[in-house]
Structure 1
Amino acid sequence: MDELDLLARSLPDAPPPSAEVVERARSRLSAAQLSAAQHELTRPSLRFRPVRRRFRWGWTLGTAVVTIAVVMAVVTLVSNMTAVPVPPPVLAPARGNDALRRLADQVAKLPDDSGAYWRKSLVDDYLVRVRAGGKTFNALGTPRSEFWEPHDPKDPVQTQHEESGLRPATPEDERAWRAAGSPAKVQRVCTPGTRAADCPKVPMGAKRVDCRYTRAVEPDGVLGDRRFGDLTMAELAALPTDDRGLRDWVRAHWDLGRPGKQTDDEVLPRSRHLLEMAIRPAARAAVLRLLADLPTTTVRGRAADPLGRPGLEVDFIKGDPSFAEFGKDDEVTEHHTTILDLRTGMILADVTAAGESTEGLPKGAVMRYTAWAPGSGWTDDRPERPRGCRAVRSMP
């Protein structure tokens, strides 16, 4: 590359220099190169190396330095002569929900999956304030649920729910329980004015205290989850995968059976419930994109779910406040987030934390969560009647 090539690459958008400018640059470059060569020939060698070897290295280095200096001078001269305005770079801000869109792109590439049953195995933990032996502390309830939805509507649907006794929530709570005499039952702390029947004593311990299940063929293959109306597996498989079609579908199906007309801001965030259903990866990707474009969605970054699994934490209902009772406080603000699987986009857990502090509950503490246990999703396994559980016609 000669000096003119270097100059051209330095100014790809500038007009070429005039012949006069080029000639002046060549003259200055030749003079500088000659001066550098003469200086190098007259310079004594410090290590008695042959003059020829020293001369070659000095000539190369000297030429490079001088060439760069001269070219930069010409670049400056030509830039000043052309006076072409260069606009400052525009840095577009990063879109806050891009992580959700990237996850959607990844999910869209997954192959369709199927099986004999869609299994949803849930771990539900909730925090409750209790009292015993003059001590007040927190305890955890740990119900478990399973839902088996068949691919073939001729197969039975099975649901199961079981509950064990409460357990102390923290080591400090366990010390308080033991100080109270490790009672087998404790009294729930309820808001003032609650009827005694609605605030009973509850058992402590790991022993299972209740187990119920239902098992029956559902008429017409209608799924148990009716938040979007009476749907079948076939209708879920036909869920639109384009943005506009999905929006229209959600609007039409969420309003079914609900009084009054709801706005898009109220309806479209409800599409997150589709992530709990047996939809194809392409449809799940479309749901993720729809949610990413809503002003009610905020991606909070990577986080571990309550079972320790890595995921993407997303707030799908930002600005939609809710309240709950905890102990004596009947209006504790809640904050809801969802943890999504980093590969499939399926839900790992829904988490509810305290939005404010109250007695026995610091702000940010997890009040309850629902985690999708390992094994959830499509399977060729079939449900067996659970032992030790009583059959009921329907769940309360």
Structure 2
Amino acid sequence: MDEADRHADPSAENEMAVIRRLLEASGPLPEATEAGRARLLSAIAGELAGETEAAAPGWIATRRRRTSRWRGVWALTAGAAAALLLTVTVTSSDSLLLLTPQATVSASAGPTARQVLLAAATAVAKSPGEGVYWRSRTVTGALVPDPSRRYVLRFSMEKQAWLTDTTGKRSWWIEHYLGAKPATPPDEYAWRAAGSPTRWHYPAVDGDKGSIVEPAGTWESGPREPEATALDTAGILLATPTTWAEVKALPGDPARLRSFLEARIRGQAAKGPRLNQTAEMEVRLQRSCMEILSGLPVSPEVRASAYQILASLPGIKADGEVVDPLGRTGQGLRYEVLRSDQSKVSDVRYVIDPESGMPLSSETTGIRELANGRTVEVGSYQAYVEMGWTDDKPELPESAQEEPAEKPQEESPSESQEEPAPEEPDLTIQ
């Protein structure tokens, strides 16, 4: 029985009942919950005390927001909104820095990865699918060693995508670099010993797919003004700009969507090194499904199919109930990125809300050694703050032209040519 038939089987209803019971199972002890809440509130207070004034020129911390008319948008709670920057925790070993908190309950006590993904597929299939813009807002961050490898820096950025094919409207990409600073007190001490620099330059380097690399370019400690770029695409799929015609043609059936993605992956692989048809195909399928779930203005049926494809892939493990980089609780799903010799490059973890079907975050972590021998965990994350269809308009920097004089003619899927994506500072992985 293939994956599509399995979901059409009446017995699937019984499986969904089991999933619901597992997701409703009691979580951590009240004492543990209260302790975690206290740590989070303390961290939030520290961030606000140290950064609210500095963030005043930007709108993340202080700007008044309009009353929104979101249709099915998952929005960040007010308490978590204050913690837009990553809170770093240190384990009992002073030498290991963790980017991501550990699971709050035993993974064996909760649902399996497949059950979590199928529950999310069922939920997201019911989400609304109409609006003038598909809008997503993410907070991205990275923990990487400074160029001298003496301390770890924490970079943060907010990104927005406003995508539309409505005549007279323009799609926009808005980004706001929030700054960089030493990640922990030991890093701050090493940073001061290095002369308290406020600018760092990283050369462009190559790395294994899925490896953690430093963000190429020159970076400052202070925030920058928001910047907006007009887009002529409907988003990114398999690291390639995609047209609206291509997005609308994506099949809403898991078997057909998987066949489409595999054919496109093989087409890309034909232009480069030979594709490992087992491990590499699965990794690229995982990435393409997450691109669909987190960044493309597709129908609810396509979004649900992407979850069903993920549920059919091996290697994804359930972490149980976890806390994401913004302090939100969800179900954690993890897999390893391996080299061809099966050595590990990095760990990737998704956190999703199975009740709404919305992804909360995507995190990649790895281990590095600093110049003094201290072992640290480095990595990057994308936390999805808002996502969904809306009739609101983007709030653009004054330098941006809000409406195009004339909407460009879009090519059909067969006629479209690959074009480079808009340049942006990259805080993510290879």
TM over 0.5: yes
Aligned to 1:225: 236
Instruction: Return the match for 1:308 from 314, 322, 327.
Output: 327
Normalising by the residue count of structure 1, what TM-score does the alignment of the two structures yield? 0.58
Question: C-alpha distance in 1, partners of 2:112/2:384?
Answer: 29
Assess, with a 3 A threshold, how the Cα gap between structure 1 residues 367 and 161 changes in structure 2: closer, same or farther.
Answer: same
1:386 maps to amino acid = P
Maintained 8 Å contact 2:124/2:358? no
Q: Are 2:263 and 1:252 equivalent residues in the alignment?
A: yes
- 1:245 CA drift (Å): 1.7
The corresponding residue for 2:141 is 125
Identify which of structures 1 and 2 has the higher relative contact order when contacts are C-alpha pairs closer than 8 Å and 6+ apart: 2
Which whole-Å CA distance do the structure 2 matches of 1:282 and 1:155 have between them?
A: 25
| 1:338 equivalent among 350, 374, 380 | 350
Question: What stretches of structure 1 of length at least 5 have no aligned partner?
Answer: 1-93, 192-197, 323-330
Tell me the amino acid that sits aligned with residue 319 of structure 2: R
Q: Please state how far the C-alpha of 1:358 moved relative to its aligned partner.
A: 5.5
What is the distance in 1 between the residues matched to 2:216 and 2:249? 46
Partner of 2:423: 395
- Is the CA contact (8 Å cut-off) linking 1:333 and 1:355 kept in structure 2? no
The 1:332–1:298 alpha-carbon spacing in structure 2 relative to 1, beyond 3 Å, is: closer
Given candidates 98, 123, 128, the residue that maps to 1:112 is: 128
Residue number in structure 2 paired with 1:98: 115
Match of 2:150, SS state, is: strand
- The aligned counterpart of 2:171 is 157
Q: Which moved more, 1:277-286 or 1:227-236?
A: 227-236
The residue type paired with residue 271 of structure 1 is: C
Amino acid at match of 1:141: F
1:247-295 deviations in whole A, cap 9, x for unaligned? 2222233344542575365153333321122223332222212111111
Deviations 1:296-335 (A, max 9, x none): 32232221110111122223x545349xxxxxxxx99321
Q: Distance in 2 between matches of 1:190 and 1:285?
A: 37
Equivalenced residue count is 278
Equivalent position of 1:42 in the other structure: none
Structure 2 residue aligned with 1:352? 364
Superposition deviation, residue 381 in structure 1: 1.4
The answer to whether the 8 A contact 1:128-1:139 is kept is: yes
Q: What TM-score results when the alignment is normalised by the length of structure 2?
A: 0.54
Amino acid paired to 1:254: I
Once the 2 structures are TM-superposed, how far is the Cα of residue 169 of structure 1 from its aligned partner? 0.7
Change beyond 3 A, Cα 1:147–1:95: closer
Partner residue in 2 for 1:372: 384
The structure that is helix-richer by fraction is: 1
Q: 1:213 and 2:225 equivalent?
A: no
Instruction: Work out whether residues 251 and 268 of structure 1, in 8 Å CA contact, stay in contact via their aligned partners in 2.
Output: yes
- Tell me the CA shift for residue 224 of structure 1: 3.5
- Contact 1:103–1:343 (CA under 8 A) maintained in structure 2: yes
Indicate whether 1:139 and 2:153 are aligned: yes
Please say if residues 128 and 389 of structure 2, whose CA atoms lie closer than 8 Å, have aligned partners that are also in contact: no
Q: CA deviation at 1:385?
A: 2.8
Deviation of 1:213 (Å) = 2.5
Structure of higher CA gyration radius: 1
Q: Deviations over 1:220-249 (max 9, x none)?
A: xx4242438664446534533333222222
Asked if 1:295 is matched to 2:314, the reply is yes
Per-residue CA distance 1:114-164 (angstroms, 9 max, x = gap) = 2111112221211232379xx932211112222211142542121123324
Counterpart amino acid of 2:186? E
What are the within-5 Å matches in structure 2 for residues 310-325 of structure 1?
Answer: 310-315=329-334, 317-318=335-336, 320-321=338-339
C-alpha distance in 2, partners of 1:230/1:188?
26
Q: 1:102 aligns to what SS in structure 2?
A: helix
Aligned amino acid, residue 120 of structure 2 = L
Distance 1:351 1:114, change over 3 A: same
Counterparts of 1:342 and 1:286 in 2: how far apart (Å)?
15
Distance 1:187 1:244 in 2: 46
| Cα distance in structure 2, aligned partners of 1:275 and 1:200 | 29
